[in-house]
Structure 1
Amino acid sequence: KQIHVSDRGRFSTARLSAMEEGVPALGYVVENAWLGQCLWQGLDKDVISWRCPAEVTRMEPLPDGYRLTLNDETVLECDLAVLADGGRSGLREQLGIGVKTRPYNQSALIANITPSEAHNGEAFERFTDEGPMALLPLPDNRCALVWTRLGMDAQRLATLDERSFLSELQGVFGYRLGTLKQVGARHLYPLTLVEAEEQVRSHLVILGNAAHSLHPIAGQGFNLSLRDASALAEALLAGPAVPGNLATLQRYRERQRLDQNLTVGFSDQVTRLFGSTQSVVALGRNLGLLGLDLLPPAKRWFARQAMGLGTRPDV
């Protein structure tokens, strides 16, 4: 319902409100396991067949599609292969599709936190000299923590005992949610901006994190992947009967090019702006946060970017 943005040790904050933006929510925090169950249940068994668990170990291009070999030696052939096996895609590498990478030299520490006070649907984004953190509201008054730190420091935090970890987190976050009482399992993810140099070939589409892996600071990676999937579906429905037609796939790519460029650029620039400890940059972002609360058009622009609506003037 609300997002509170602050810069540790500096005076400015920005507050975004769903009510002010005329939307039911600025965003939703969904646990991956629950989302996966919903997607499985949504599959029409009369239309879609699937193999699970299974792994594609080899992809071979054919004149009119792709041949897929699974880890149980099953062989499948298709008119269109959608490669969406994540940012460290082994199949993408196998097909000789290069990537552009930009390491952030950071890791994201992910965990669930239980505070003593109700979060009331408010998300917190807090920037510090050591890296940004976010506390995002979950059911049962839990919060999802995304804490970005330098690699070695993230490793140290991941191995602290619970009391020491919560104490250090409390010192950085403050007491906006009262005392931080409990932390769940902690997981680390190294952070690198990854962009595939090709996203379409004849009978092939690269989708999701295999096409673009973003820094989690702006929370836009999954949003962008959903928009890509939606645009691909629309292009296939409007195209010729053969789904792997290269012209159709290129139209999809051109349609999404601006959205991808703006979203990747926004996430990367926010990461660099709020990750810098230079005094001039820190002053600039401090004034920028202050300006968001004082200038409604700037706040609306920022809110639309945060909601993933920045490139959709019709919404």
Structure 2
Amino acid sequence: QSKLLLISDGSRSQVASRLGVAFECVDFQQHAIVCNVKLAAPHHGCARERFSDGMPLAMLPLGDDVYAVVWCLSPAEARRVMSLDSNAFCHELSGAAVGRVGTIQSVGKRTVFPLVASRSKEIYRRRIAIMGNAAHTLHPVAGQGLNLCIRDIDQLARQFESIDALGEVSRLQQWSNVVSPDQSVTWDACHSLVKAFSVRHSVSTPIRSSLMYLLGVTPMASDAFLKKASDVRESY
């Protein structure tokens, strides 16, 4: 009897599937190891991402000396790394980070999962909206999954500022018209980035390195990139 049902039960939603919603899926043939690590020295709030053999290692600051780690590897390599004891794991992770984070003292619980992107082929029906990872699960390469979910939620809230309009199909259609292009662009951008860094060639590798270096040392370019990636909008 609810006016609006929000389906948000995760990637390839079982609830949406039971309603007959179809999904597009992309298996990247990669696994992600996720964990928290404690450093010997503060990271000063600096986030890091490094690409090795076409696969990203992302380290996001938590607290003064803790990083949240997302380490993408081939399935076989992920199994090998997961089998290491804590000391060996910290040593190998430090090597993958090329020593840029200093000494890694300890690691918390490690989790590994396959990287499969998915998106629902429809995001609304009468009195139903599909949200979050149920609507779109992205490769973590650009860290855009949460940002995209927040934008979806923000736009849905704008459509239903009046409680009397809650669940109206016309409002849901307007919401879909607004967020669907954003979802498609973000989906395509993440996939393009994964493909670009997966190409192993004697020419493409130095070109990628040069472009990343120029992005880092050119304030105007890096500011524009960060603004777009974090979705900083004047209306916020």
Shorter-chain TM-score bucket reads over 0.9
- Is 1:266 aligned with 2:186? no
Mapped partners of 1:141, 1:82: distance in 2: 37
Query: CA 1:107–1:218 in 2, change beyond 3 Å: closer, same or farther?
Result: same
Q: Give the structure, 1 or 2, with the largest relative contact order (CA under 8 Å, sep 6 or more).
A: 2
Shift of 1:105: 0.8
Asked if residue 244 in structure 1 is aligned to residue 171 in structure 2, the reply is no
Contact 1:130 1:149 in 2 (8 A): no
Task: Give the Cα separation in 2 of the matches to 1:254 and 1:297.
Answer: 32
1:210 aligns with 2:134: yes
Contact 1:132 1:275 in 2 (8 A): no
RMSD of aligned residue pairs (Cα, Å): 1.8
TM score, norm. by length of structure 1: 0.70
1:149-298 matches, within 5 Å, as 149-237=73-161, 241-298=164-221
Structure 1 residues 5-37: Cα deviation after superposition (integer angstroms, max 9, x where no partner):
xxxxxxxxxxxxxxxxxxxxxxxxxxxxxxxxx
Asked whether 1:104 is paired with 2:44, we answer no
1:32-181 equivalent positions in 2, closer than 5 A? 77-129=1-53, 131-181=55-105
Tell me, yes or no, if the aligned pair for 1:111 and 1:183 is still in contact at 8 Å. Answer: yes
CA contact (8 A) 2:54 2:194 kept: no
Q: Percent identity?
A: 33
Matched residue of 2:60: which SS?
strand
Unaligned stretches of 5+ in structure 1? Answer: 1-76
Q: For the Cα contact (< 8 Å) 1:109–1:147, is it kept in 2?
A: yes
CA contact (8 A) 1:114 1:180 kept: yes
Q: Which has the larger radius of gyration?
A: 1
Task: Provide the TM-score with structure 2 as the length reference.
Answer: 0.92
How far 1:301 moved relative to its partner?
Answer: 2.3
Is residue 202–residue 246 contact of structure 1 (8 Å, CA) maintained in 2?
yes
The number of equivalent residue pairs is: 236
Give the Cα–Cα distance (whole angstroms) in 2 for the partners of residues 198 and 88 of structure 1: 12
Distance in 2 (alpha carbons) for counterparts of 1:314 and 1:271: 31
Give the Cα separation in 2 of the matches to 1:130 and 1:258: 28
C-alpha distance 266-291 of structure 1, shift in aligned 2 (>3 A): same
Partner deviation per Cα, 1:60-114 (whole Å, 9 max, x = no partner): xxxxxxxxxxxxxxxxx21211100000311111111001111111111011111
State the Cα deviation string for residues 175-224 of structure 1 (Å, max 9, x = none).
22221111111001211121110001111110000000011121110111
**CA–CA separation in structure 1 for the residues paired with 2:115 and 2:153:** 23
Q: Partner of 1:132: helix, strand, or coil?
A: strand
Matched letter for residue 306 of structure 1: A
Which position in structure 2 is the counterpart of 1:13?
none
Whichever structure has more helix as a proportion of its residues is 2
Alignment gaps of 5+ in structure 2: none
Q: Give me the whole-angstrom Cα distance separating, in 2, the residues matched to 1:284 and 1:260.
A: 29
